[in-house]
A and B are shown apart, each in its own frame.
Chain A
């Protein structure tokens, strides 16, 4: 079976090179997740046809949309795509209804039918009564929904969403995310979501592709990625302490010869992870029990939910979550010496 979307996106822009492979099945939502400047938006623009490829290919439903080696390039207006832009880009001179009807009109639907379809789409996103408003009369959340309706109204084989929730405030974002999830579930084509927000990616996408510095560093479903991060960026996103080292049985040597005891048995290059909440802090060296202990210096204290997140330096840098009571008891403040301990059963190791 052919994938709905099969792309190998290579774009050279001066010193920056984007080289990303993507496959998206029909009905699937893939999130392209990565820090700012990783090349996510460039990849989206290449799929939309707004940025020509340097090499590689973009194939949707078996049709080559961009293939530099065969000198094949389909301009954006003839691609089966829909795009929700980060700041929506609703046409300011058109009403919400005419914004949504714009796509169907360009695809040969007559004026009346296009308006009927647009009204239908606006009703589906719950904005039937706002049809005649101009974009500047809509709230951020409403504009986002009009932008989604406008992109879906052309029945795209590939729906592209560029940071669709980034411009919204926290409360609107929650509602809009739930709404977006519903529409993505109904969308029969493929969908690609570009975001730097791990929550958007985890809630909305079936599969995550993580891009750093123009390359895919990890991909898989949410469970796999949150359990076994492979880069510092991913580890930070999912809130884990991550180390890379060499495993020999139950011991993994990381950094400058510091040995961590892990629950899993492994040989060769390995990653070790443990949760910040698994780190216990002590004023003195704890005795007994076969666990990992090391002397550490507090470098930072931040609120983290109901707890405090303590940043530690030492043989390994780590984050530890402690209760405010424990922090007060230990009088934790930057520069203070403490002992950190993690049980071997709390650490997981997996091949690098």
Chain B
């Protein structure tokens, strides 16, 4: 808003000087985050790039990565949004403990997460054995396994974002809905969810980004089979052992695709209305 001085003239907005104590560390932080990317660009085998891009394995891994990350995000939204609602809106004993448990995958090394998933869903696992003998379903070392591993690691990102949005949303709108005859479910679907939609979208994007980059849990739980479980990060890891240039190309592709998608979504959803 323009500032009007006593003479009624509109004064130009005052230029705020940015304190050096903030500017310098901010600049260093930006450099630190972007320099490795510069490294990738500098070392990329630009001359052989066209041939390498058209290698059949590359496209397969990329498509598998995008599909699995998207499916994992859908799973996280379906289960994570209700869980976030429970944490934000319902008082129940042990809520703090549940909230701590939800964030465990954040601090757990993904490899440990993968091992834990194997112990539960593996052929001899707590649930896996029963699933295998009763329904003939096995998850480890399948594409479904990739989705499970990614969802396990990425879900906390969604829950934290959505719970924050729910806490920030004015719960009195829900009271207003109740006085108009809306039960809790209708209030959730017709009032709460539209109000926190930007938060859900932001959480889903974070969740998708985390799932796309997932490595440790995936390789432990789902293995590294080209075509079924070899996602981009796994392909990069495999290529590193034999052919550095291939690894760089794969990394560049993953980088380009994810930055393009994130930038596209950010403008549409993440910026607050």
B144 to chain A: closest CB distance in Å? Answer: 36
Chain B positions 42-74 with a Cβ under 8 Å from a chain A Cβ: none
Pair B178/A49 contact, Cβ less than 8 Å: yes
Pair A50/B180 contact, Cβ less than 8 Å: no
Q: How large is the interface on A (under 10, 10 to 19, 20 to 34, 35 or more residues)?
A: 20 to 34
Question: Assuming the A-B contacts A50-B175, A76-B175, are A93 and B180 also in contact, with contact meaning beta carbons closer than 8 angstroms in the complex?
Answer: no
A92 proximity list for chain B (CB < 8 A) = 195
Pair B195/A102 contact, Cβ less than 8 Å: no
Question: Assuming the A-B contacts A92-B195, A102-B190, are A50 and B181 also in contact, with contact meaning beta carbons closer than 8 angstroms in the complex?
Answer: no
Pair A102/B179 contact, Cβ less than 8 Å: no
Q: Please tell me if A37 contacts chain B, counting CB pairs below 8 Å.
A: no
A76 proximity list for chain B (CB < 8 A) = 175, 178-179
B190 proximity list for chain A (CB < 8 A) = 102
A151 proximity list for chain B (CB < 8 A) = 179
Question: Assuming the A-B contacts A76-B175, A85-B172, are A91 and B183 also in contact, with contact meaning beta carbons closer than 8 angstroms in the complex?
Answer: no
Question: Assuming the A-B contacts A93-B194, A93-B195, are A102 and B182 also in contact, with contact meaning beta carbons closer than 8 angstroms in the complex?
Answer: yes
- CA–CA, A78 and B172, complex, Å: 17
B194 proximity list for chain A (CB < 8 A) = 91, 93
- CA–CA, A7 and B175, complex, Å: 21
Q: Please tell me if A296 contacts chain B, counting CB pairs below 8 Å.
A: no
Q: Please tell me if A286 contacts chain B, counting CB pairs below 8 Å.
A: no
Task: Indicate with 1 or 0, residue by residue over A45-57, a CB within 8 angstroms of chain B CB atoms.
Answer: 0001110000000
Contact of A106 among B170, B172, B181 (CB under 8 A): B181
Number of A-B contacts (CB under 8 A): 56
Q: How many residues of B contact A (CB 8 A)?
A: 18
Question: Assuming the A-B contacts A85-B172, A93-B195, A106-B186, are A150 and B180 also in contact, with contact meaning beta carbons closer than 8 angstroms in the complex?
Answer: yes
A148 to chain B: closest CB distance in Å? Answer: 13
Contact of B176 among A49, A79, A85 (CB under 8 A): A85
Pair A50/B173 contact, Cβ less than 8 Å: no
- CA–CA, A48 and B175, complex, Å: 9
A103 proximity list for chain B (CB < 8 A) = 180-181
B178 to chain A: closest CB distance in Å? Answer: 4
Contact of B180 among A49, A75, A102 (CB under 8 A): A102
Please give the residue numbers on chain A whose beta carbons come within 8 Å of chain B beta carbons, in ascending order.
48-50, 75-79, 81-83, 85, 89, 91-93, 102-103, 106-107, 150-151, 154
List, sorted by A's number, 16 A–B pairs whose CB atoms are closer than 8 Å.
Answer: A48-B175, A49-B178, A75-B178, A77-B180, A82-B179, A82-B180, A83-B176, A83-B179, A85-B172, A91-B176, A91-B194, A91-B195, A103-B181, A106-B180, A106-B181, A150-B180
Please give the residue numbers on chain B whose beta carbons come within 8 Å of chain A beta carbons, in ascending order.
170, 172-173, 175-183, 186, 190-191, 194-195, 197
